[in-house]
């Protein structure tokens, strides 16, 4: 299933659902996750409401072009005892994430591309599919890409829905990652070094979950096996791209498209104040805050989220026609 498009001088894998003659919704997934991480029920709800839905693999994951390979740290970790690799990874992570949870990566260091490049990929795919305007929906890093599209390609946007996203991770006025999440990231990297990629994905998604909906490890593991078979790059350069792109907080007031901000109160990697910064700085933005929810789109809340999105879509379409 799905096809490859030559876009922005790279290959982008994509798949669509619903009637092509209907208004399009472009779904942009987050860091280190391919397009299959979008819950099929999320897609089906939109199709049922007469929308044409497009998903795609961002560069560096899935079946799209990969830029980043195994880093030196991972190669070193493979040839030393586990106890040594654990100390090595712990040392590196302490330098990457400060005590207050802030990312300490020097801006732009090691990044082979940034969010502007990824936004060009998305808009290029729209060109390829002959989609003039679309509702742009993004999860996490995907929500950051939606902001870039809203700012730099406003004529291609009907509405924006950044889900569990942020105006920028290097903004000192915003909260850093939770200690539990930093620990989960460190353990995931160790599992990746050992070639236990499925265990690594399960570990990080467990750390990302909030308290309201218990993490169902067996169910997630079964789904994650499918995601990984589609194409899993454990060393994608998405985090570097996010850091290299800086903060958009001082530009958000330039976004004119109707916007819905969706965020959980227990998000451990992009805490609630990141979402509130979007809602407070994008003119007229609406918000849907999910109590007790982490960095996740819970199955139990899909209908409510889609309901809020459909309300936004109607407003945006009326504005576009007017």
Which of the listed ranges 11-20, 98-107, 243-252 does the model predict with the highest average pLDDT? 11-20
**Euclidean distance between the first and final Cα of the chain, in Å?**
38
* pLDDT tens digits, 79-130: 667 777 777 667 666 666 666 656 655 555 679 999 999 999 999 999 999 9
- The structural domains of the chain, with segments of one domain joined by +, span 3-66+110-174+237-321, 72-108+177-231
- The answer for residues whose C-beta is within 8 angstroms of residue 112's C-beta and 6 or more apart is 67, 68, 237, 240, 241
- How sure is the predictor about 242, in pLDDT bands with cuts at 50, 70 and 90? very high
Identify the helix (H) or strand (E) that includes residue 48. helix 40-48
pLDDT at 93: 64
Q: What region does 99 belong to: left with phi over 0, alpha with psi -120 to 50, or beta?
A: alpha
For the structural domain made of 3-66+110-174+237-321, what CATH number should be given? Answer: 3.40.50.1820
pLDDT at position 110 is 78
Q: Which residues are bridge partners to 4 per DSSP? A: 13
pLDDT band at 269; cut points 50, 70, 90: very high
DSSP run (H or E) holding 134: strand 134-139
Q: For the residues 28-52, what does the mean pLDDT come to?
A: 98
Q: Average of pLDDT values for 4-10?
A: 97
Q: How far apart are CA 41 and CA 45, in angstroms?
A: 6
- Region of poorest pLDDT, from 3-12, 84-93, 273-282: 84-93
Could you tell me what percent of the chain has a pLDDT over 70?
89
Phi and psi based region of residue 194 (left: phi greater than 0; alpha: psi -120 to 50; beta: remaining): alpha
pLDDT average, residue stretch 248-263: 97
pLDDT of residue 292: 98
User: Given this model, what pLDDT does residue 241 score?
Assistant: 95
149 CA to centre of own chain = 14
The predicted structure's pLDDT at residue 91: 62
Report the C-alpha gap between 28 and 171 in whole angstroms.
23
Q: Which of 213, 203, 211 is nearest to 183 (CA)?
A: 203
pLDDT for residue 206: 96
């Amino acid at each position: 299933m799905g096809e490859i498009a030559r876009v922005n001088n790279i290959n982008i894998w994509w798949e669509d659902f619903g009637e092509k003659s209907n208004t399009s919704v472009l779904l942009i997934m987050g860091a280190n996750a391919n397009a299959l991480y979008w819950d099929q029920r999320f897609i089906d709800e939109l199709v049922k409401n007469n929308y044409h839905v497009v998903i795609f693999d961002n560069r560096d994951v899935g079946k799209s072009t990969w830029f980043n390979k195994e880093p030196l740290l991972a190669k070193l970790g493979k040839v030393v005892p586990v106890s040594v690799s654990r100390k090595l990874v712990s040392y590196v992570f302490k330098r990457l994430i400060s005590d207050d949870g802030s990312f300490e990566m020097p801006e732009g260091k090691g990044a082979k591309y940034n969010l502007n490049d990824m936004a060009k990929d998305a808009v290029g795919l729209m060109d390829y599919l002959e989609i003039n305007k679309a509702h742009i929906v993004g999860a996490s890093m995907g929500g950051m890409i939606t902001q870039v599209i809203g700012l730099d390609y406003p004529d291609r946007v009907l509405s924006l829905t950044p889900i569990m996203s942020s105006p920028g991770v290097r903004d000192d006025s915003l909260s850093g990652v939770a200690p539990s999440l930093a620990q989960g990231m460190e353990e995931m990297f160790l599992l990746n070094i050992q070639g236990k990629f499925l265990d690594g994905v399960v570990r990080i998604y467990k750390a990302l979950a909030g308290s309201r909906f218990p993490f169902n490890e067996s169910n997630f593991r079964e789904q994650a096996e499918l995601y990984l078979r589609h194409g899993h790059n454990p060393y994608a350069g998405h985090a570097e791209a996010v850091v290299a792109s800086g903060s958009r907080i001082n530009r958000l007031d330039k976004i004119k498209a109707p916007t819905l901000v969706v965020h959980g109160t227990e998000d451990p990697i992009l805490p609630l104040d990141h979402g509130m910064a979007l809602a407070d700085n994008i003119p007229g933005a609406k918000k849907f805050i999910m109590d007790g929810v982490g960095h996740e789109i819970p199955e139990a809340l899909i209908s409510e989220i889609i309901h809020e999105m459909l309300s936004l879509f109607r407003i945006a379409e009326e504005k576009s026609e007017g």
